[in-house]
Each structure stands twice: as structure tokens, then as C-alpha cells.
A and B are shown apart, each in its own frame.
Chain A
Amino acid sequence: MAQTALPVQRSTPLYERSKLWSWITTVDHKRIGILYFVTSLCFFLVGGALALMIRTQLAVPNNTFLSGDTYNQVFTMHGTIMIFLVVMPLNSAFFNYFIPLQIGARDVAFPRLNAFSYWMYLFGALLMTSSFLIREAPNTGWFAYANLTNDLYSPGRNVDFYMMGLQVLGISSIGSALNFFVTIVNMRAPGMRMMRIPLFTWMVLITSVLMLLAFPSLTVGLILLMFDRYFGTNFFAVGAGGDPVLWQHLFWIFGHPEVYILILPAFGIASEILPVFARKPLFGYPFMVYSGISIGILAFGVWAHHMFATGLGTVPISVFATTTMLIAIPTGVKVFNWLGTLWGGSITLTTSMLYGIGFVAMFTIGGISGVMHASVPIDYWQTDTYFVVAHFHYVLFGGAIFAAFGAIYYWFPKMFGRMMNERLGKIQFWLTLIGFNVTFFPMHLLGIDGMPRRIFTYSDAAGWATWNLVETIGAFTLGVSVLLLLFNMLSSARAGQLAPNDPWDARTLEWAIPSPPPAHNFDRIPVVHSRDAFWEEKQRKDAGEPPIHDRHPFNLGSIHMPPPSIVPIVAALGLALAATGMIFLVWPVTILGGALVIISLFGWSLEPNF
């Protein structure tokens, strides 16, 4: 990957000499974005392999490929990895790389915190997945319901890996959320008012707010669980008056906003891709903003729709059913606005556009099944069946992952300076679309037929064998398509056609600078006069008007970029060590980790040049 020489960036001789050291100490948002990108794709392969193991086990009735216990670990980790180690970090890769570029900034508000968030993600991810090595991976579902998770029913370390891994990842996410919130609010280029920022940036802002407000609920739930397991408290102890349903409330008050955290960035990505390849502005930009904000607010009002079958009482579940139906409205607004963007546009079906359109279609299907669950009587039938599995894979794979794939094809040239292979890309798209639908559509049918979730096998007599086999074939097709995507990325990064600044004739500021951008991003910070700032500048140039006047004289020597720092990785290491010590109840390790954190916090605040 080409990396231009850094102008006046203060660096140490070691930074110049050692590539590894330069990556370990980087605080450059673009490099951190690439770290997130590569790491999340590696975990995508892990999560995908787990999916294939599930599908192999379920391909035929009474299969013995996986035991029940192993199956529990496999499906728990499949979900946990895909949500926390793949979709969130992959989204984060794009936040990191592109938010500063889209708002005309040189980096994020807190570069070291940014690096810290990445290292926390990596260490948390390694911590949680290392549980496979001792065959004690989390095995109580990604939602870890009490009381199955207490020390009586889960005496092994599985739940401890889950608790500590998620706490570490939670800190990573909160750090990121704080960073992007301040960056978007405070570092926009002159003239870039809030209603002029790209819609992707808007969605990231809302996502950041959701992260800040939703994660603490999970943190508290995990703390209560930890105290029950380690210190004998009674939070979920029924005999002492505790209520396991409290866990469900705390988890889902986090968990529902979490799924909007997963999908809002995808909404933003689609809202970037569709206008570019329809050569039309996004239809109804203000409504896209307001609907995004509405979704963010309503997200906190629907959580108990995950709990309809827990006996909450008629009044609460009616309220939650209503709010859940309500949230479909702003979502529907977005779908119609995407259609309105396409309507009358001059459409080019590049691979990223195919994924953008595919996203709208597949997400809508997932949304329809979701609205069905909103009805309590229907949910009583569908809950805990494969109908729900179909729903969330349509919105998470058909939604978040399709958008992420679209983002890859769209933004790869900017990140790596090379074009991906379009022909291979189109084949890969169709293979993905077909494989995806073959895998997940039949799950609607199986769910209606009553096939429960989370079972490791089923009998011949159930009549589910045929569809299950079909789904497994679909899953392996998906596996092939993912490998094709990886192949396309790797071969293009090495030998793809060199990418110009603006290969797509796009609309937003990241396309105004070279591919990949220099370390300082913009030679001159742009002054912005409208939405789609870069498109507007191009129109002015075409019309023979002088370029947008910039306030600052061009003087590369006056640009001061934040220097690299070892502190973030040390702080992250300390926290990860502390968490590891807690899992194995080896207090010296925890204390050592804690000490490392305290030392690095002082190092952080006293480091010069920041």
C-alpha cells in the first residue's frame, strides 16, 4: 500500500526504520481504519467458518458432526463474533478512514484514543476467541440469559470469557463513540453546517450517540453477572428475590439500540453509493436526517419486543408492540427516499451500486419480517423459531453486510490506490445474492413450520431435512463468494489498476484528494458552501468559475500532524491483561494490568506535543 512521506510529522528514528513499529504507534486515522478493516475481515472468516460448521451439522437430520455442547459454543461465537468482531469494527474501519475526509479535517479529535480503541478491539477479540483453544468458548447464546449463566449452571470459564471480552470491547466502542461524536460536532470544515454534511457522517453521529447511551446498560448487566459469579451477590438469584428477567431488560436496553448501531452506518453507506451511481442528489436529504434521528430515539423505546414471551403483562407488551410498529415508519421513509434517488437517475450498475440496490431490497425483506414480529400474537408463534433467524440475517447480512461489501467496492480505490476488478466483482455480487437468498429465505418457511432456534439436530420425522440441506448448499455458496471477494481485494491491492482521485465522479470531499490520501489529507482545508461539497466544486469548475476560495495559504510546512505514540497500545494491553486476570481469577495479573493502565494514563496526559 502506497504511503506518501510524511511532511513535518515529528517521528522517531525507530518510526522511520521499522514498519511494524510505525503501525504499532500510529495515530493516523487512515492507518487505524486499515487496521480495523483487515482485522474485521479476518474475523469475518472465523465467524463464517463457524456458520459453515453450523450448516454442516444441520444439513441432515440426526447429524453427529458436532456434539450439542460444541454446537452451543459454535452458534454463540458465530453470533458474538459477527456482531462485535466483524460488523461493528468493519463499520468502524469506514468511520475511521472517511469521517475526517468527508468533513474536511486532518484527523479525528482524539488520535491516541482512536488508536487505543483499535488495540482494545484487537485484544478483546483475541481474548474472547482464545477461549476456543481451551474449548471453553462462550456457549450461552450471544445474549447470555440468566440464570443459565450463573456459576451453578455454567461452572466453566465460558461465561467469564464472554463477560470480560465484552467489557473490553465495550470500552473500545465507547472510546470510538466519544471520538466520532466530538469529531463530527467540532471539526467540520468552514461552511460545513450540520445540514451540509454527507449522510454517512450524519448516520455515524447518530450511531455514536446510540453507542454512548446504550453500552452502559450492557456494562451494568455484565457487572451484575460478574458480581453474582465471583462474589456471590444475588442479582439473578431467584431464592433471594432476584429476577433473571432483569438481565433480559438490561441486555435488551443495550441490545436493541445495538442493532441500530449495526444498521445506521449501512443506511449511510447506501445513501452515499446510490446518489453517485444514479448521478442524482440523495432524495429528501432532510427527511433522511430526521428519520435517522427518529430511529435513534425510538431505538430506546422498543427493547421489550425481544421479551414478549416472558410474561411482562398485557399493558407493557402492547406499548412495546406499538413503538416497534412506529419505528418502521422512519425506516420506511428511508427506503422510499432511496427509491426516489434511483428514480429518474442516470444509473451505472457498478458492483458497489449493485450492492447498494441489493441492500435496499434485502433489508426491506428483513424489515417486513421484523414488522411481523412487532405483532404480539404473531410473535408468540414466531419467537425462538427460525423465522426470527431469517429476519435478522436479512437485516444483518442482507442489510449491514451488503452495504459493507458495497462500501468495499466503492471506497477500496481511495484506501488502497487501486481499482478492484469489476468483472469479478459483478460475479461475486450475483453469487452472494443467490447464495444469501438460498441460505436464508427457506428459514422463513422452516420457522413457520415450527423449527426452533439453537437446536443442534432434528429428527427425520420433522420434515425439515430438505430445506436445511438447501440452506447448507446456499451457505457454502456464500463461502465461495466471500473467498472471491478476498481474492479480488488481495490481487487488486497488489496489481490492480492505479486509481485516480475521483474514479466514480462522486459527490463528497474524500474524492477531492489523491488515492490514497497523503498523511495530512487536504493540502488546503476546503471551504464549503453546500451539500455534496465536492460535486458543487466540480460544477463550478465546469462552469468556468474560479475554484472555491480557501482561507488558508498553502504552506505544507505549517501543518502539524499528531506524532505517533506508544501509549495507546500499552494502555490497551494493561486493560486486556486486567480482564484476562479476572477470567482466570489470577489476581496478580489483574493488578499488573491495572498498574499498567494507571501508568499509561499518566503517560497519556503528560505526553508532549499533544
Chain B
Amino acid sequence: MQHAEEHHRTATGLSHNKIMMWAFLASDCMFFGSLIMTFMIYRDRSVNGPFPQDVLNIPYTSVSAAVLLLSSLMMVLALAAIQRGKVREFRVWLIATAAMGCLFLGGQFFEFSDFYHKGLTLKSNLFGSSFFVLTGFHGTHVGIGIIWLLSLVVMSFRGDITKENAEKVEIAGLYWHFVDIVWIIIFTFVYLIPY
């Protein structure tokens, strides 16, 4: 929201949207923190299987984690491109980011259906409940991010993304990096810490 006579003056020099995104991410941290805390409390409390060590496949999930991490690199390259005014290059990197996000989600679906066939469901035990709710909400965040990025791609075709409003991309990038960092944390707590 701009006021003509005040020439976009803000008390901090940062835009409202950027500060709001940081504040929102702080809140989202607490959201994921509570879900991760729930998972950690319930880690060793499942009464029956399948147990984590029966189903979790660290090599497989490392690959999908790396894919998501790489997508953050794509995001940085997309932002760098649009900050230099290179709309076409920006579009390529952003589509790459979204594509890698889709690859990650695809990997999740594949992994989850494998677990399902091994008997791990929302209802099967505490591990199933806490695992699927935690990773499910994370996946939903990724999905929303993908839609957001693709919307930016569509907007760029209409000439609505330029060097001047590159901040729009930066803010989407903040969200995307956050979602990536949350996955690193989830991967550490759920997969890497030995059972």
C-alpha cells in the first residue's frame, strides 16, 4: 500500500511485505516446532509396528532432501537473474525450482505409498500418526510454494515481473528457503537420529 506524497517511506527502510513474510515465518517456525516436538516425544512410544527402523530408508530420503536443497539454489539463481533484469533467465530458473519441488513431492508420494504397503498408516501406530501429520503438513507447504512459484512464472509471461518489483520474487524465495530448512530439520530428527 503506497501513499503518493510520502514516496513509499517506511520507518525501517524495508517494505511491509518483506517484514510480514519474516514475521509469518517466525510464526510458522513455532507451528513446525510443535509438530516436531510431538514427533520427538512420541519417538519411542509406538506400541506396535511398523517401527521407524522397519521402513525408513535414509539413502532414498537423502536423495530427495538433496533435490529440495538444490531447488533452493535454483531459487537463488532465479532471484539473481530478475535482479539483473533477465526475465527469460529468471523464468527458466524458477521453473526449475518448481520442477525440483515437484520431484521432491513425487518422491514423498512414492515413499509414503511404500510405507503404506508395509502397513504404516495414519492409524497404525503413534509413529504413523506423527510421521504422516508432520511430513504431510510440510508437503502441503511445499505444494503451496510450487503454486506460488508457478503463478510468478505466469505473471512474468504477462510482463508483470520486472527488475523493479524483483522483491516479489525475493519474498517467495524467503518462503521457499524456509520450507527447505524445515525439511533439513525434519530429515535430521526423523531419519538421521538413530532409533
Contact = CB atoms under 8 A, between A and B. Distances in A.
Is A bound to B?
A: yes
A555 B10 CA distance: 20
Interface in A513-551: 525
Contacts of B151: 602, 605
B165 interface: no
Contact of B20 (A111, A182, A235, A239): A182
Contacts of B34: 216-217, 219-221, 250, 253
A326 to B, nearest CB: 22
Contacts of A233: 122-123, 128-129, 133
Given A220-B35, A241-B45, A181 B23 contact: yes
Interface in B1-18: 1-6, 9-12, 14, 16
A240 B123 CA distance: 10
Interface in A237-258: 239-243, 246, 250, 253
Given A213-B30, A610-B1, A240 B126 contact: yes
Contacts of A314: none
Given A212-B26, A233-B129, A110 B5 contact: no
Contacts of A212: 23-24, 26-27, 30
Interface stretch (A82-90, A400-408, A557-565): A557-565
For the residues of B in contact with A, the DSSP-based class is: helix
A66 to B, nearest CB: 36
Nearest to B16: A109
Contacts of A232: 122-123
Interface stretch (A47-55, A183-191, A269-277): A183-191
B156 interface: no
B135 interface: no
A223 interface: yes
B47 interface: yes
Given A182-B19, A185-B11, A560 B125 contact: no
For the residues of A in contact with B, the DSSP-based class is: helix
B157 interface: no
A216 B31 contact: yes
A164 B11 CA distance: 38
B22 to A, nearest CB: 10
B16 A234 contact: no
A187 B28 contact: no
A215 B29 CA distance: 11
Nearest to B7: A552
Given A178-B23, A234-B129, A242 B42 contact: yes
Interface of B: 1-6, 9-12, 14, 16, 19-20, 23-24, 26-28, 30-31, 33-35, 38, 41-42, 45-48, 122-123, 125-126, 128-130, 133, 137, 151
Q: Nearest 7 CB-CB pairs, A to B?
A: A233-B129, A216-B31, A220-B34, A241-B45, A216-B30, A232-B123, A212-B27
Interface of A: 106-107, 109-111, 174, 177-178, 181-182, 185-188, 190, 192, 212-217, 219-221, 223-224, 227, 231-235, 239-243, 246, 250, 253, 525, 552, 555, 558-560, 562, 602, 605, 610
8 contacts: A178-B20, A178-B23, A178-B27, A187-B16, A190-B9, A192-B11, A223-B133, A241-B126
